[in-house]
Structure 1
Amino acid sequence: MVSGCIGIIPQMVAKRRKFIQLREKFFQQNGGLMLQQLFSKLDSSAETTKIFTIEEVKNATNNFSESEIVDRGGFGTVYKGILSQNKIVAIKKSSVVDQSQVDQFVNEVIVLSQINHRNVVKLLGCGLETEVPLLVYEFITNETLYHNLHGAGHFSSIPWEICLRIAKETAGAYLHSATFIPIIHRDVKSTNILLDDNFTAKVSEFGSSRLVPLDKTQLTTMVIGTFGYLDPEYFHTGHLSEKSDTYNFGVILMELLTGIKALSFDKPGEERNLATYFLSSKKENRLSLILDDRIVNEGNTDEPTG
């Protein structure tokens, strides 16, 4: 009996050593060393952003239980989790492992670590000891602006006054001047704006954002964005500036004004692209025909201009 127990001990030690080595491998693979180095240069982020262990993440999500999934898409899976002291969080787990995704992950952690804004989803930390990296955010309860605008039975339920506030809060979350180094989001759209119980806007998804050096007004980058929102000038030249985010925001305003999706492939001709459709309607003095009824019923009955 004793000899049998003695034989098990080396196996347990070897298994434990292999587990530790795997954790260390994933930590490095997911940019752990780079993040540690960058955090050391960002005093404020070192105090607010935590690197969670695999045990903490598994405990929070009941070992990534299917019952805790709140969203699933091409980017990965989002789980609802409960940390110590019953703090509810959202944990985003990437779907694939490649270097470009790791670079975006590291970029998002670094960008959000420098932001403390009531209309930007708060990053609480990250997990680096699993095969794919994890991001841990505050949990936002009322889904996305896109879902609330275009989901069945949702659009008519949002008062126009709240729509105006959502627009104002989203505009206020643009970080061109809210941080020491301006930040260009590059992909602000209605699916990347979360709403809480009070319909407060929270801009999310900063994986493709760029920090703009103070001595520059634009950057030349690989074009990243979403058709329907993508700034045509940026698309054709690759020159990224604050105006690119402003164009995104303009499309969101059009969504709020009309209740129409930014891109609708099931519609004919110019109606497929909301920006094109909106501008041509304005030019031809028929804008009032595509505006949502609430603007007439609740808002200003004068046709929008500008």
Structure 2
Amino acid sequence: MTSSTYCSLCGKENYILQRYCCNCGNTLKTYRIKPNLTYQSLESLITEENKNKILNTQITDEVYTKIMTNIRDMGLMNLNFTNQDTTFDKIVKMTRQFSKLHSGKKWGVYGYYHFNNIVIDDDYNEAMKTCTLIHELSHHLYSEVFEQLLMYIFDSPKTDAIEAIVQYAVIQNPYYAIGNEYLAYTSEGYFMNNAMKDYASIYKLIEDNDLDMKRVGNMCVIGNAVAYDVIKILEAVIDKNLKQELAQLCRAYNLRPVVDKDLDNVPLITDNVEKGKIIKSIIVDIFNFFLNNDYDDELLFELMQGFREANKY
């Protein structure tokens, strides 16, 4: 679990999850390599042995912090704002540090996140598009936390199989999707003065799936816990001045805070070891489902194919 990789440019030793060399900033060749041996297929990933490996690997405070630092560093590397950049331009640049960004339309939504791509509808004003970007980027970062934790546990680079199983865990399962959505609303609300924080997608998930409300509450606690880390990651870019610009943008377009007494007051878990245990329990739950049930492997195959296509470019 302590593997290192060495920079091909300066020779500096780097932790395996680093995307860029900590010494010279060179892109590390092993960040998205495709090794011959490990976890290129769902059959090689979803095994009893790997489930036990997840259960038996301790996520210490140091490991959890390192994972968050790695993700934060992706957002900072070679990021430059100019005097000509508008507030919206800056959020666009930040988003592109982590994810691919496109314009497009999907009925009933301002934007969406799919296979490491964020799509937003350009017909809306800049304040609404900014809210949407932060919301969808938060989804991406939530997945990234799960993926990097699995990369650490399996001592593996990122693969399509790892991305597919995480996608299933945080989006396809309705309960875990609640945590994902709560995280996105919380992160967006923190930076955008709670504008557009109506929890609409959460209420829709509850209505469409007839979910148990006690478990929904637990998922909101999980989403709130990781939102704390996503906010810290984004604060490396959205400093005090940029946050003030975001507040001004909301006022300029008359976007006002939305209050929801039922969902706004969720307990906050800040202990990194506890958060690591929670994330592991979600992944183990998904592994158990696939190991112990007949399931639609066509969906998982489609997820893998989606990431394979997205990662070509």
**TM-score, normalised via structure 2 length:** 0.28
Of Structure 1 and Structure 2, the greater strand share is in 1
Greater RCO structure (CA 8 Å; 6+ sep): 2
Q: Which has the larger radius of gyration?
A: 1
